């Protein structure tokens, strides 16, 4: 179980780093499956796609097991609440960043969308929406499936940015904003905040508030970086009004909007 200091840090900073959240051997097994699907070899850089490759959900046992370890389930309970999150039945999508200096579509500062609006396109994820209740998303999760140092394209996190995003979303009500509009507002509003990097070893996980502003970056290292960015769905809608108790995710939103 996360301790009170870690939960308070999540509420204030918008994320918590869970070392050794799933076994390194499991990470290696999953990487081998992805290499095969990419028709590429870790020993042959000439076979690597650049600058990035994207893979959809994986529902096979190694991937599902990585998201369901006792250590992670305990952390989900601590941040979202026991019985208030839905177990993952797959793990994805994956973003694999290969060495090189080219940027990719996910390198701009943004917040991950979680539900389609009436005008959203199923093929245009940036037309999907985010609202103050974080509909359909309890956590943003970053699963490190490879060792990721400062040079291996760690995801950039704007510390505390989830609070400013809550204030942007509150007046938009249930409809919220689409990902493009929210990014256009949230980027300048959070530009002065400190930047953290999601570095660590294969098997580490970062559990992030769903409103956390984040961005990718090129891989300046010599090894590919394997990252999964699954959503943890709520088992019931998040509550930011009415009687408590409130989860850590809800408490952060409530504190931001007063």
- pLDDT tens, 47-96? 998 889 999 889 999 999 999 999 999 999 999 999 999 999 999 789 99
pTM for this prediction: 0.96
Question: Cα angle at 142 between 7 and 29, to 5 degrees?
Answer: 125
- Residue 122 is predicted with a pLDDT of 79
As a whole number, the mean pLDDT across the chain is 95
Task: Work out the end-to-end distance of the chain between its first and last CA atoms, rounded to an integer number of angstroms.
Answer: 28
Per residue in 184-232, pLDDT (tens digit) is: 999 999 999 999 999 999 999 999 999 999 999 999 999 999 999 999 9
- Residue 51 is predicted with a pLDDT of 86
Q: The tokens of 160 are what? A: 């505390």
Per residue in 118-145, pLDDT (tens digit) is: 888 877 888 899 999 999 999 999 999 9
- Residue 92 is predicted with a pLDDT of 78
Residue 173 has pLDDT above 80, yes or no: yes
Peptide bond into 200 cis (omega under 30): no
- Residue 208 is predicted with a pLDDT of 98
Element (H, E) at 228: strand 225-228
| Whether 245 contacts 126, CB under 8 Å | no
Per residue in 83-121, pLDDT (tens digit) is: 999 999 999 789 999 998 787 777 899 999 999 998 888
- Residue 93 is predicted with a pLDDT of 87
- Residue 159 is predicted with a pLDDT of 98
In 80-191 the beta strands, taken as DSSP E runs, fall at 94-97, 129-130, 139-144, 156-158, 177-178
Q: The tokens of 53 are what? A: 């490759």
- Residue 103 is predicted with a pLDDT of 78
Q: The tokens of 142 are what? A: 């970053």
- Residue 155 is predicted with a pLDDT of 97
- Residue 198 is predicted with a pLDDT of 98
């Amino acid at each position: 179980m996360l301790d009170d200091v870690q939960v308070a840090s999540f509420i204030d900073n918008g994320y918590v780093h869970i070392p050794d959240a799933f076994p390194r051997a499991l990470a290696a097994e999953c990487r081998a499956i992805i290499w095969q699907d990419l028709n590429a070899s870790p020993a042959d850089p000439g076979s690597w796609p650049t600058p990035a490759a994207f893979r959809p959900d994986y529902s096979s046992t190694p991937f599902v097991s990585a998201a369901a370890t006792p250590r992670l389930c305990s952390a989900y309970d601590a941040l979202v609440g026991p019985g208030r999150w839905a177990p993952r039945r797959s793990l994805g999508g994956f973003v694999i960043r290969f060495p090189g200096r080219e940027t990719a579509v996910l390198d701009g500062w943004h917040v991950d969308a979680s539900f389609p609006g009436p005008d959203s396109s199923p093929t245009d994820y940036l037309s999907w929406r985010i609202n103050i209740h974080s509909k359909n998303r309890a956590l943003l999760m970053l699963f490190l499936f490879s060792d990721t140092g400062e040079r291996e394209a760690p995801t950039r996190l704007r510390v505390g940015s989830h609070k400013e995003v809550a204030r942007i979303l509150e007046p938009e009500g249930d409809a919220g904003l689409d990902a493009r509009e929210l990014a256009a507002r949230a980027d300048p509003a959070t530009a002065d905040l400190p930047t953290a990097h999601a570095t660590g070893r294969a098997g580490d996980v970062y559990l992030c508030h769903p409103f956390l502003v984040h961005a990718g970056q090129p891989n300046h290292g010599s090894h590919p970086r394997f990252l999964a960015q699954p959503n943890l769905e709520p088992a019931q809608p998040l509550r930011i009004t009415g009687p408590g108790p409130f989860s850590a995710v809800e408490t952060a939103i409530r504190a931001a909007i007063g």
